[in-house]
Structure formats: C-alpha cells, structure tokens
Chain A
Amino acid sequence: MDPNIHRPMALQETPVILPGHDFETVTETIAEIPLSKRYPLGWIAFIGAALGLLGVLHMALGYLVMVGIGIFGTNQPVGWAFPIINFVWWIGIGHAGTLISAILLLFKQQWRMSISRFAEAMTIFAVACAAIFPVFHTGRPWLAAYWLFPYPNAMGLWPQFKSPLIWDVFAVSTYATVSIVFWYVGLIPDLASLRDRATSKLKAVLYGMASLGWRGSARHWHRYEVASLILAGLSTPLVLSVHTVVSFDFAVSVIPGWHATIFPPYFVAGAIYSGFAMVLTLAIPVRRFYGMESLITMRHIDNMAKVMLATGLIVGYGYTMEAFFAWYSASPHEKFMMWNRMFGQYAWAYWSLISINVVMVQFLWLKKVRHNVGLLFVMSLLVNVGMWLERFVIVVTSLANDFVPSSWAHYTPTRWDYLLYAGTFGLFTTAFLLFLRFLPMISMFEVKTLLPQGKVKAEH
C-alpha cells in the first residue's frame, strides 16, 4: 500500500520508483547497460585507474611472497596491525549488502529492491578484498592451509578449534560462499531477461548458460520465492554472526581494550554503519552516471542516510561504554588503556574518529543534509575513514602500550602496508566496474513487482 495515503502533503515521501515507469521501461533502462556495445569514456577511464591499482596489489603481494612479512611495519609489541585492520574494515563494509538483501527482505522493505543487487555485489567484492589480508599476512599462504582448514594432511595435524581465529575462518568462508550463492540465485531471472534481449549470438549463449535456462514458470517462481526467503532467513543470523566472530578475535583475548563484552554488538553496528557509507559512496555516482535517478530515488538516499545515523549512534554508544567499562573495571591497565587512547601517542586518531563517528554523524538528523547528495557523498567517504581509524585505534593503541612499559613502542606502517591496502581498492573497483558493465545492476524483476502492472487482486 502507498504509505503516503494518510499523510499531509508536506510529509509525503519520494516514491521508491518515480512515476512513468512500466515493465518495458524498467527492462529497457537496466538491461540496456550490459547489452550495449558502447563502453562509455568515463567507464574506460575509471577501469584504467582501477587496473593500475590492481597492478599495485599484484606487485605488493608478489614482493610480500618473495621477501616475507618483514616488509610490513608489524613488529613486537604491535604484532597485529594493518592486515587485521584492513581485514576488519573490508569485512565490515560487506555487511550492509547482506543487511539490504536479507534483513530488509524479511522486513518487507520495498525500497531495498533497487539497491540490493549492487549492494550485494559490493559485499562479495569487499569480502574478497578482506580475505587477502589474513591469507597473505601468514607470509607463506601455501603453507597456511593446514592450520586454517580441517583437511587430512601428511603431518597428521588438525586446526585448533578452541581458537576464535579458526571460528573466524569458518564464519568468513561461510559468509563468502552464502553471499555468492544468494547473489547468483537473485541474478538468474535477470540473466534470462538479458538472454532474451541479447543483441549478439555470443551474448545470448553466455547469458543463456548463466541463466541455467530459466523460463519463469509458475513452478520456477514458487520455488524461487521459497528459496530466496529461506536464504534471507539464513543470511540474517549469518551476517550477525560474522562480525560477532570477528570481534571474538579481540574479545576472547586478555588485552586491555579488547577484552570487552560489548564488542559483538558494537562491531556489528560499526560494520553496518561503514557498509551503508560505502553503499552511498557507490550509489551516488552510479545513479548519476547511469541515469538511474528514477529507480534509485531520493527516498533510497534518505533511508540509507537514516540507517547510517542509527547505526552511527549505536557505535557512539559503544565508544561511551568502552570508556565507562575502563573506569568501572577498577583495573589500572584498563584505565590506562583509555587514557592512552585519548591522550597517548595515537590521540590524533582517536579524536579524528570521534569527530567523524560521533560528532559529524549528528548532522544526518537534518533532512537538508540527507537530501544534499554532494555533501552526503563526502560524509560517506569520511565515515569510512572514521571506521578505519576506529579499527586502527582498537588494534594499535592496545598493543603499542600494553602491560609492561619496558616493552612499549611506536608502530609505523611501511610503504608496503600502504601499497597493499591501496591495491585492494584496485581489486574492489575493477570487480565493481566489471559488474556494472556486464550484469544488471538493479534487480529488474523485483522492481517490476512494485509496479501496478504486476499486481494481482486476491480472489473474491
């Protein structure tokens, strides 16, 4: 039902789809991009830059494998640094995609339909970037397999199942697999649309194979609907468990500033917060360049900003509770940890993240800000800077100044730390641009269910 019916004019919201669309125009607008023969100049420029960064990634990984992890700034006492920060950051970004495609599906939020496809693509690419860090920070990833995955090996060794790091392997690899499966299942009907409209034999065959011969029969759709509801129901506890388990990597240890019971919900909220920022970072330019303003309307932008505000407030609550726990614990190490974060050698990082994640985010209460697309774009970039700094502060300050002052040190990342991190942007952007060009970026059949043409009256 139209939510605007009982509202006064002034409070009416922008619809999820702007008027003037029917089935034909929806298919046309979305399918035209993957089927066209043109490669827009902007796309070529962006993918050129992205491929350059992808080259940086290969170079950094190649050098890492040749020389070893000594090329990183990671050293005692800061034995966990850039790799885990970047891992948590990328994994967190992925969470928004699953929230949009699974949790909002269970809540029957119709606005999710036009952003779920590319948010889910973002999830998969972000998880791929995240996976690089834990695998390669082992130095010799080809040897890492036997303590990460349980498989019968010649040494008769098995992983240590009492360790949260192994839980993380299970959580993240399940998350990656289920995300890919969920995304692909959602693509099948749209791939069939591309097959039926393909302009060349090659495209028809490729999209046809990818669509598995989907016909859209009543039985197909029935099973499809059941399957996607089940997948949404499974992805919801899954996504909540992933960042919970990521937070266990810290919370199960005894390091001051890590050993906190608030970590699981605080990490999950932070993940969704940064993920929505990334969806905005991607959606704002994409809807502009591809002329999708009638399908990704101001309603979507506004709602995403609101989710960002809500999760940002939870994150702010997490910061407050961390400080409270430190004081209430009466443990000198916990108290020192908090003092050290605020006024120690990395105070600049702490206050930068507070000014972004606690102060700046308050401007999202204003509708004017939420409807200023340019400003929102800049804010979404800053939020991800803030969330990266949050992980930096959690990881580095707790380790650089731990229990024994004689072992304290200052951590400085090396150029290889930065190059590897920058390189993952190359992987992410390249994958995302290929997705925009060759797959339908918005779920066509789902958007059609919002149009009157698809509505069917119940009998009697």
Chain B
Amino acid sequence: MAHTPETTSALHGVMAEYDTGQELVDAARKTMAQGYTRVEAYSPLPIEDLNTIIHKTRTVLPKLVLAGGLTGMATGFALQYWASVIEYPMNIGGRPMASWTTFIVPSYELTILFAALTAAFGMVLLSGLPRPYHPVFNVERFSMASSDKFFLVIESADPKFGGAAAFLKDTGAKGVYDVAE
C-alpha cells in the first residue's frame, strides 16, 4: 500500500527499485560509500557479493553445523556404547562388547543427520524466519522482488536517513517508495 511522501513519521524506510542485479549492486556500493549503515537489499536470486558489500560479515552457520555434526557423532557413539556395553550387553559370537568398528555406521549417519538439521534450522532461524509479516511487504511493487525486480531499502533507523529518498533517486532507481512500518 503505497504511502504519500509526506508521512515520514511511521516509516520503516525508503525503498528503491531496479531492473537488473548489476544496477542493484552498483547502487548498494554507492549507498555504502555514502556512509549509510542500516541498509538491506532484496533480489529474486542470490547475488554473490551483495551480502559482503552491505553487511560485511559472514554467517556463523558453518561453525554451528560443525558443532551439530560433532554432537551427532558423540550421540550416536554414546548411544551404542551405552546400549551394547552397559545397559544390554549381549555376547555375539564372542566379539567384544565395545566392538567400536560396528558402531561406525550409525555414528556416521547421526553425524550427518544432526549437521544437516543444524544447517537447515540454523539458516531459517538465523534469518529470523518464520516471520509472515514484515514492513517491506507493505510496498505493492515488492511482490516483484520474488520474480524479476531488485530492491534496496534504507531504514529510517539510519542516522543519515533524512536525505535517503533523494539519494536513492540519484542512484538510477526506477522508482522510490516509502515503506510504512
């Protein structure tokens, strides 16, 4: 629901629309060079450099996945050791109770299971999802962000927000919209 430019009080930010990924990346570079700090870009497909340009940080996800995988491996091994040696020891052909080689396969599978679940849930939760509502959805044109248009938002929380709309117009945007809170 597009808003008139006068209502600046309850704004989430201003949004600029671009036709190509290249235009978005160029605009994002200019915006960051200008000293804006509360910026986010939206695109219908992954653009490799975009996150580095705007946020300059990489996700901790790989470290979480490593921890998840190691937890899975420890869980798998501990479960089998406990069940086969402590809780329910059974002599199978005179083999040792703690025949660790036979524990490899379930430990391996649980390593992968825990790591994969950490990767998937980590990706979703770190991104703050599930979150059905977000102010950017208030802009009608934003429905194109999942099809073929590219968007850049400067949030009203940015200290330099005052001139943001005018600045974005100069970056070659096809349109600049207010994002209601």
Contact = CB atoms under 8 A, between A and B. Distances in A.
Contacts of B65: 230
Given A161-B84, A218-B51, 11 more contacts: A160-B92, A162-B84, A174-B109, A174-B112, A178-B112, A196-B145, A216-B146, A226-B123, A227-B123, A241-B112, A445-B46
A424 B52 CA distance: 48
B106 interface: yes
B44 A234 contact: no
A325 interface: no
Interface string A212-248: 1111111111111111001100110110010001001
Interface in A417-453: 445-446, 448-449, 453
B interface SS class = helix
Nearest to B129: A212
A166 B106 contact: yes
B117 interface: yes
Closest A-B pairs by Cβ, 10 of them: A23-B148, A222-B51, A227-B123, A212-B130, A167-B105, A158-B83, A196-B143, A193-B146, A221-B46, A170-B109
Interface stretch (B3-11, B18-26, B157-165): B18-26
Interface of A: 22-24, 27, 150, 156-162, 164, 166-167, 170-171, 174, 177-178, 181-182, 184-185, 188-189, 192-193, 195-197, 208-209, 212-227, 230-231, 234-235, 237-238, 241, 245, 248, 445-446, 448-449, 453-459
Contacts of B115: 230, 234
A237 B116 CA distance: 12
14 contacts: A150-B79, A158-B88, A161-B106, A167-B106, A188-B124, A196-B146, A212-B129, A213-B129, A216-B42, A216-B43, A217-B42, A219-B40, A230-B115, A456-B47
Contacts of B170: none
Contacts of B41: 217-218
Interface of B: 20-22, 25, 28-29, 40-51, 53-55, 58-59, 61-62, 65, 76, 79-80, 83-84, 87-88, 90, 92, 95, 99, 102-103, 105-106, 108-110, 112-113, 115-117, 119-120, 122-124, 126-127, 129-134, 136-137, 143-148
A70 B20 CA distance: 65
Contacts of B29: 459
A226 B122 CA distance: 11
Contacts of A446: 45
B112 A455 contact: no
Given A162-B95, A227-B123, A182 B116 contact: yes
A241 B134 contact: no
